[in-house]
Amino acid sequence: MSYSNNIIFGPIPSRRFGISLGIDLSPSKKQCNFDCLYCELEKAKTVDTMTTYPSVAEVVAEVKASFEKHPKIDVITITANGEPTLYPDLEKLVDELNKVKKSAKTLILSNGSTIYDEKIYKALLKIDTVKLSLDCVSEKCFKKLDRIHSGIDIEKIVEGMIKFSSETKNIFVLEILFVKTLNDKEEEIKALYEAVKKIKPHRVDIGTIDRPPAYEVKPVSFETLQEIANSFEGINVNIAYKNRPKLESSFSEEEIINMLKRRPLTQEDIENMFDKVSKKLLEKLVEEKRISLIDSSGLGFYKIS
């Protein structure tokens, strides 16, 4: 079966990563070991292996052809109609992409479920940016929200993420998607925070449902996401939310410092939360080197120096 023209999508502009060229490792059908309630793809029975997929040679040929047409690609994004780490030749594919990527970076978007598989773990270590999901850490919530394939162990996933974070020399981002009445409960949020503190990713992206889900579930509000972000003390948290409300409140120097002591804020946070006077105060604090603007995997964060 030929997968030509179905494997590659883009290039498309990405606010965080620049010009992104996408790879779909399961272009013919959904193949995933999760059947998440919030999934934007169709409902599907979970699997633990891919049965139909393009060869490494096919994928690399399509990537090379795209580079000839679009030489200014910043990132090659490895995804799937399902879970990309179920691709049986992932490490070989990553090795080949690293040979042809030129100045572009590699990125994978995964549900994180296979990180304790040694073969997958080795492949992930070779990818420039690894973005993994972690929606719940309690087994009950994990099974209910992510509707996992049998045999997947959330404790092993968290342990694998802790190990990976300590060993990778590249960028590691966690993503948590909050769903109303499921993982937005206080005990689930606390458990997630404790796990994130141990995992120590470079950044945590939190968000909610913003596209039609596979099942009848509801998003949480922006205010809920803000409360959750504020409870993740000391963590670089980025709130991913479409059409964020502009608050533009006034803050004193002391309030700004106390806010940043609690958790770093993104440039987008500042743009939406601070009025003009507060932004000027922030600039002054940066000039005085009391606050620093740092880059964390493509996002600017303000934090206490």
| Residue showing tokens 């620049």 | 18
Q: Are residues 240 and 253 in the same domain?
A: no
- Does residue 4 surpass a pLDDT of 70? no
What mean pLDDT do residues 140-149 have?
A: 92
Q: Are residues 50 and 103 in the same domain?
A: yes
- Does residue 301 surpass a pLDDT of 50? yes
Query: Last residue of some domain: 202, 220, 244?
Result: 244
Q: Are residues 229 and 292 in the same domain?
A: no
What mean pLDDT do residues 29-33 have?
A: 91
Q: Are residues 13 and 63 in the same domain?
A: yes
From residue 27, how far is each of 2, 24, 30, 58, 244 by CA, in Å?
A: 11, 6, 8, 12, 33
3 within a domain of the structure (yes/no): no
50 within a domain of the structure (yes/no): yes
Least confident of 125-134, 149-158, 205-214: 205-214
Q: Are residues 95 and 136 in the same domain?
A: yes
Tally of structural domains, the chain: 2
Give the CATH number of the domain where residue 209 resides.
Answer: 3.20.20.70
Which of the four pLDDT bands, split at 50, 70 and 90, describes residue 3?
very low
210 within a domain of the structure (yes/no): yes
252 within a domain of the structure (yes/no): yes
Query: Last residue of some domain: 193, 228, 244?
Result: 244
Q: Which amino acid is at 43?
A: K
Q: Are residues 256 and 219 in the same domain?
A: no
- Does residue 240 surpass a pLDDT of 60? yes
Give the CATH number of the domain where residue 262 resides.
Answer: 1.10.10.10
Q: Are residues 178 and 221 in the same domain?
A: yes
Q: Are residues 36 and 154 in the same domain?
A: yes
Q: Are residues 215 and 300 in the same domain?
A: no
Query: Last residue of some domain: 228, 244, 260?
Result: 244
- Does residue 5 surpass a pLDDT of 70? no
Q: Are 64 and 76 in contact (CB under 8 A)?
A: no
Which of the four pLDDT bands, split at 50, 70 and 90, describes residue 219?
very high
More confident residue, 291 or 164: 164
Domain, as residue range, for 285: 246-305
pTM of the model: 0.84
Q: Are residues 295 and 204 in the same domain?
A: no
Say what percent of the chain tops pLDDT 70: 97
- Does residue 2 surpass a pLDDT of 60? no
Q: Are residues 70 and 46 in the same domain?
A: yes
What mean pLDDT do residues 61-87 have?
A: 91
2 within a domain of the structure (yes/no): no
Q: Are residues 160 and 212 in the same domain?
A: yes
Q: Say what the pLDDT of residue 139 is.
A: 92
